[in-house]
Amino acid sequence: MKKKWSLITAAAAALALAGCMLAGCGSNDAAKDSANSDTTKLIVGFDQSYPPYGFVGDDGNYTGFDLDLATEVANRNGWDIQLEAIDWDAKDTLLNSGAINCIWNGFTMEGREDDYTFTDPYMLNAQVVVVKSSSGIKSLDDLAGKNVITQTDSAAQEVLEGDKADLAAKFAQLETIGDYNTAFMQLESGAVDAVACDLSIAQYQMSAKPGVYTQLSDELSSEHYAVGVKKGNTELAQKITDTLKAMNEDGTVKQLCEKYADYGLSYENWILK
């Protein structure tokens, strides 16, 4: 009886061990699959109305300097890539939910360091003001009593509501709008007197319509672009940084800058070496 009980116990133990091993393997495989799914696909959140960094090309497809950079980074790391045109106001919700895993679209890092993990900055940028060349507005002081517009949740809005709040207090009104293309349409029509925006946006709009717009010489602020990932995801941020450095060293970045030179993009503003 004791021997029979021992055999039964041993068999039960063996089955339990086998079950644990199978469960363990399944759990590890699931974890591995989950990890792989997080690291083998780059899901890029971008503003589709932000030339030359991300926009809809003449062929109806998404294009832009940052999207080209992201695609090349993904290719070099063996990642799939998914380009997601997003509502800019929803970018934090989308990033935290995993619907996107990076924000890569002329994304200013200053003032946002506590909210994201960033790559090393790669592009020099500034916040500037653009007016119609025929407006007679020559300086920031001339904006007193004028209607100024900027993009909702943009770096320009943050500056005008922060460090430059005293300047904005002199405006007749500081308006916000969903995208810069519409903001410049309002400027051209005379609905507003000035657009506060990124330097790159100003350069693009001025190159698209030579002589129509003028950028005021005084900058609102100086800053940098970087790729933002979910807070704590240092591995992805570092991988992107390292790949961008390699792309600069082999001349790929310079080629992409030249591709978008007609949009006002300059390799001189690239700072990641």
> Rounded to an integer, what distance in angstroms lies between the CA atom of residue 208 and that of residue 186?
16
Average pLDDT over residues 100-110: 95
Q: Assign domain 124-223 to its CATH architecture.
A: 3-Layer(aba) Sandwich (3.40)
Average pLDDT over residues 253-267: 93
> Rounded to an integer, what distance in angstroms lies between the CA atom of residue 216 and that of residue 143?
11
Q: Is the pLDDT confidence value at 28 over 80? A: no
Q: Is the pLDDT confidence value at 26 over 70? A: no
CB atoms under 10 Å from CB of 229, counted, come to: 25
Listed in order, the ranges of the chain carrying CATH 3.40.190.10 are: 40-122+226-267, 124-223
Compute CA distances 142 → 15, 136, 194, 215, whole Å.
83, 9, 11, 13
CB atoms under 10 Å from CB of 51, counted, come to: 25
Q: Is the pLDDT confidence value at 127 over 90? A: yes
Q: Using 50, 70 and 90 to split pLDDT, how confident is the model at 96?
A: very high
Instruction: Please give the structure tokens belonging to residue 174.
Output: 């500081």
Q: Please give the pLDDT value at position 241.
A: 98
| Fold exhibited by the domain 40-122+226-267 | D-Maltodextrin-Binding Protein; domain 2 (3.40.190)
Compute CA distances 93 → 90, 97, 103, 168, 269, whole Å.
5, 6, 12, 29, 30
Percentage with pLDDT > 70 across the chain: 86
* pTM over the 0.85 mark: no
Bridge-based pairing of strands 41-46 and 80-85 is parallel
Count of alpha carbons within 13 angstroms of residue 82, beta-carbon side? 14
